[in-house]
Amino acid sequence: MAMELFLGQRRLPIDAALFDLDGTLVHSLGDFVVALGALLDDLQLPGIDAEEAAPLLGKGVDHLVHTVLARSVGVERATALFPRARPIYWRHYTAVNGLHSHVYAGVREALARLHAGGVQLACVTNKPMAFAQPLLRAMGLQDCFALVTGGDSHPRMKPDPLPLLAACDRLGAAPARTLMVGDSTNDSEAARAAGCPVVLMRYGYNHGVPVDQVDCDAALDDMTELFGPSGGAPCPTSLENRA
């Protein structure tokens, strides 16, 4: 059963929807700032604030840690320091994952509305699964998705289309009828390459670039704008356990 969404003047029938996590479903910047600050403190390097950290998110843990190190010590030394820094960051992030995060307004309502319309839902993130699944649980979103894939679930991450195409295959949905909902060029490029329609949330991170400047089918302020004026409901029980 397909559900029809409205993106501007375009009517879009979809069978499935894929969601990015950080900056799309959950405002998790606070967790990153605390964990990165603890890492930098351990290494006796200058700290980082939210404004500096936000544009660095979305390309996976290794890219984030290396980039943050390079800000202080340069690329060459950051590369040498990375093997020591990565497990330190991993430990600090694990300790704070979800403590300084919250679900964006409109997300629960949108997920419930899509599920009620018969749309298969998946979370497709570049976050490692060891971080993604605990964050979804902490936010009470774990039962909203039939499928969760992380940055270490496939050989390549977004913006490569592989994670999206694999999710479509697992859900049994054609890419052209699978909506990608994200907040960055990673999501847009992956969706375009996979043949999926894509909408981007303006409240996300997107490497410091407004999503209105990115190729997408629509840029939204609130996820419920997919439906126009509407109500919502709590997340459904796990789609994996549906009869």
Annotated catalytic residue, options 15, 20, 22, 217: 20
Instruction: Confirm if 163 and 154 have CB atoms less than 8 A apart.
Output: yes
C-alpha to C-alpha distances, 89 to 40, 65, 127, 149, 236, nearest whole angstrom: 9, 8, 14, 21, 34
For the question of residue 20 being annotated catalytic, the response is yes
User: What residue type is assigned to position 221 of the chain?
Assistant: D
Residues labelled catalytic? 20
